[in-house]
Structure 1
């Protein structure tokens, strides 16, 4: 009986470990030697070898090359950057740098935004600060059209121009066989510069300015390119399904 119990425990442990390993598949680094892993882009997105943003002024410069994708929005070209990759559950990491007072964001599945913002020096961050989960928006609501929105637990933002790092673990919404949503999308954990700023945050639907108003099991990553200069590098993701 003792042997049987130990044997059963080992079998259960083996399959648990195997299952855990299967949940972390498809690790990939997006090449920034060209833009072939993204949908066609507008001219506000450029490839660069190096980028410099002043921490105290609007001064900025870049050297054309490879390894960094840079948004310099100038109307009418203020489009967003979409991956050809479609994802469900995902672990995402990337570096970013913003210009002074600049504003951007990364949208998981093109729908749920983690804010990228120059929040340097902010003492009490709000949902629109760096690391915040942006609010939802409904024109029919009264008196407040904006709702939800989750401020980061603390301000972990560096000064403008400095390279910063996001690590985001995301769980996609779940649907039954008829297509009805049965579980909301969730940010399992968001780390900004190795500091936990969000944990187990559910979003009931797409956040404001999402590319899509519906919800689906899969969608692309979207980097916002219409609010200000932002540089992105070292984009890595791991499928968790």
Structure 2
């Protein structure tokens, strides 16, 4: 019996030695399947690729509802392919709910903007709008071209959590862009966090959030927390300050 085990062991060792002596081939590390789906890129910067979903194409607001009352006819102003915040209508959010996505959105702060600090061109993009607490996970929209405020609340910040890596703001009156890769948080059955939310953000083509891990939602007061949720709508904020209202255009999304 011992002799048989010894012989078997010698054979295994010999086989491993032979295998180790075989020269490596390119094919050893080639992966051929599954083949990635083909997506046609846009021909111009900011254009939607072939698999994008248009949330706002300048023609209507059919993809959006009033955040406070989905049945309400109150929405923002629509003119010349642009939607502009109507403070009397409050926030807008998408009809559809999403998990992980790539989002492109363009906004414009009026050239004649007034105010200072958080009262100057304030809006926000909630990457997942929630019906409680702080209302979700907010990417800040604000005029910080020449306007000082707390850095974790300036444009490009994940509000009250992560300041932008740089200030990439353009002058008021110019169209600006956000390109966002969002990974929604996942939760265990007991409500504990299985994996946190992660956001990568380009502001006007410049990286300002690099795979930033969120600590929870983005409250104005208090610490961030997580509460269990699934797919959520995207919300655009009507902040309610006295400054001139902000406009949005060309909003599209790719589900990931």
Structure that is richer in strand per residue: 1
Aligned to 2:229: 216
Q: Give runs of aligned pairs for residues 1-241 of structure 1, distance below 5 A.
A: 9-10=29-30, 12-15=31-34, 17-18=35-36, 27-31=52-56, 32-40=58-66, 43=74, 45-49=76-80, 67-73=81-87, 77-99=88-110, 100=113, 101-110=120-129, 111-122=136-147, 126-135=151-160, 149-187=161-199, 189-208=200-219, 214-227=227-240, 228=243, 229-240=245-256
**Matches of 2:148 and 2:192, distance apart in 1:** 41
Distance 1:37 1:78, change over 3 A: closer
Aligned to 1:62: none
Task: Give 1:225 shift.
Answer: 1.0
TM-score w.r.t. structure 2 length?
A: 0.68
**Matches of 1:70 and 1:27, distance apart in 2:** 23
RMSD: 3.2
- Rg larger in structure: 2
Distance 1:13 1:20, change over 3 A: farther
Task: Give 1:13 shift.
Answer: 3.8
Specify the SS of the correspondent of 2:166: coil
Q: Deviations over 1:100-119 (max 9, x none)?
A: 22100000111111100011
Specify the SS of the correspondent of 2:36: helix
Q: Deviations over 1:16-43 (max 9, x none)?
A: x53898xx99521124312111124674
Distance 1:226 1:43, change over 3 A: farther
For structure 2, list consecutive stretches of 5 or more residues without a partner in the other structure.
Answer: 1-18, 40-48, 67-71, 114-119, 130-135, 221-225
Task: Give 1:226 shift.
Answer: 2.7
Task: Give 1:239 shift.
Answer: 0.6
Q: Deviations over 1:134-171 (max 9, x none)?
A: 02xxxxxxxxxxxxx21111110011111001001111
Specify the SS of the correspondent of 1:34: coil
TM-score w.r.t. structure 1 length?
A: 0.72
**Matches of 1:177 and 1:43, distance apart in 2:** 37
